[in-house]
Every structure is written in structure tokens, then in C-alpha cells.
């Protein structure tokens, strides 16, 4: 086995305080095992998203997903940025994350992106439990994707997600991405974003 053949399954974060193990292990791989995601695991991911909290229980999230080798997969892939195309084609599953922008009375739902984020957070923890990595991608032509998939006008595609089992061969990545794949994970310190009582306090 070469050095990159089995990307670290537990790329554990060096946290300032102890947190739930699945959160420490979660990261965003750009290479995955060849195996397709099983139907049961796919359904479990969306079931986890289903039970996320949302404002007034409106559940404004929607998802379009496609397995590698299908026409729908190619349509999603073709909407990605050139950078994301350089690696995302090895993902067994591609997903479009969508939210409903307006309430039924026509008012804008300001909380919908927040609610979609909560559902994706649920999905990320469930994925980690199953040994599945999610890599969220902002780099896509969402206007093209909305047209390709006949998304109703009251919905907006927020991002795409590459989904696959951890353990892919990082040697298949370009050198710069291979380095990122194996780099230590870093985050800004708590003091830079969590303020006690007043801004920057």
C-alpha cells in the first residue's frame, strides 16, 4: 500500500475543549473509495436531515441527488466550477442542496438558509457515523443547475455536495490538493467569534 492509498479515516481535530468524537473526526475529503453509497445509507443521510430543527417546522430544505454513472450525475457535475470538476468526479454521489426562499403567503423566509444549514449539519454527523465524508461546494453555476433540473422559481440551489466513503487514494489528486487532503485541520480560536456580553468582549 502506498502512502496515499488510504486517506486518514480519523483526521481528528486538535480542539481547545473536548467535543463529541464524530465532530472531531469530521472533515471534507476530496477523494473517496470507489464504492457507491448504499441505498440504506443514502436514505439514512436524508432521514437525519429530515429531523433537523427549522423555523415553525417549515422544513424548507430540498435535495436532488444522483449516483455516479447516471445522466443526472453528469448534469450536476457539468454545473460545477472548473476547480471542483478537477476532483469531484470521483465522488460516488453528488447532491444539490436547495431551500424554499419564500413562505406560502409570499413573504421572504429569512430563516430558510439557516434551516438548510441545520439539516446539513445533521446530515454531516450521520455521515460521519457511517464512515461517509461530505464535501460542500459553493463553486457551481446554480442558475444553470436550476434550469437543468426544473427547480421551481420559489426555490434556490445553495450548494453542491460530493459524498463518498472515506478511504480514497489521495495519490489520485493533483499535488496541491493532495497536500490539502493530508494537512492538519485548523480553525480560528473561540475568542475571535464567541463574545461574552458584548461584541468583541
The pLDDT value given to residue 201: 65
pTM of the model: 0.92
Sheet containing 93-100, strands listed edge to edge, beginning at the edge strand earlier in sequence = 61-67, 93-100, 155-165, 132-137
C-alpha cell at 145: 443547475
- How does DSSP assign 123-140, residue by residue? HHHHHHHTTEEEEEE--B
| Residue percentage of the chain with pLDDT more than 90 | 82
Provide mean pLDDT across the span 75-85: 98
Burial (CB count <10 Å: 0-12, 13-18, 19+), residue 37: buried
Q: What is the separation, in whole angstroms, between the first and last Cα of the chain?
A: 51
The pLDDT value given to residue 5: 41
Lowest mean pLDDT among 12-16, 60-64, 174-178: 174-178
- Smallest CA-to-CA distance from 120 within 138, 100, 136 is with 136
Lowest mean pLDDT among 32-41, 59-68, 175-184: 175-184
Q: Which residue has the higher pLDDT, 83 or 186?
A: 83
- Smallest CA-to-CA distance from 77 within 63, 64, 94 is with 94
28-184 adopts what CATH topology? Answer: NADH Oxidase (3.40.109)
Amino acid at each position: 500500500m502506498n502512502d496515499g492509498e488510504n486517506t486518514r479515516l480519523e483526521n481528528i481535530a486538535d480542539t481547545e475543549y473536548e467535543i463529541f468524537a464524530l465532530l472531531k473526526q469530521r472533515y471534507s475529503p476530496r477523494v473517496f473509495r470507489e464504492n457507491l453509497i448504499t441505498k440504506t445509507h443514502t436514505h439514512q443521510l436524508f432521514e437525519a436531515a429530515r429531523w433537523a430543527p427549522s423555523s415553525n417546522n417549515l422544513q424548507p430544505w430540498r435535495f436532488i441527488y444522483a449516483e455516479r454513472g447516471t445522466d443526472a450525475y453528469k448534469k450536476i457535475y457539468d454545473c460545477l466550477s472548473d476547480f471542483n470538476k478537477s476532483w469531484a468526479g470521483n465522488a460516488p454521489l453528488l447532491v444539490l442542496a436547495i431551500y424554499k426562499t419564500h413562505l406560502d403567503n409570499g413573504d421572504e423566509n429569512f430563516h430558510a438558509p439557516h434551516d438548510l444549514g441545520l439539516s446539513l449539519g445533521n446530515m454531516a454527523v450521520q455521515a460521519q457515523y457511517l464512515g461517509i465524508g461530505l464535501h460542500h461546494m459553493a463553486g457551481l453555476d446554480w442558475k444553470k443547475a436550476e434550469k437543468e433540473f426544473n427547480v421551481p422559481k420559489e426555490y434556490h440551489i445553495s450548494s453542491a455536495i460530493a459524498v463518498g466513503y472515506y478511504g480514497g487514494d489521495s495519490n489520485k489528486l493533483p499535488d496541491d490538493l493532495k497536500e490539502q487532503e493530508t494537512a492538519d485541520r485548523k480553525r480560528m480560536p473561540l475568542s475571535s467569534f464567541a463574545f461574552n456580553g458584548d461584541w468583541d468582549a
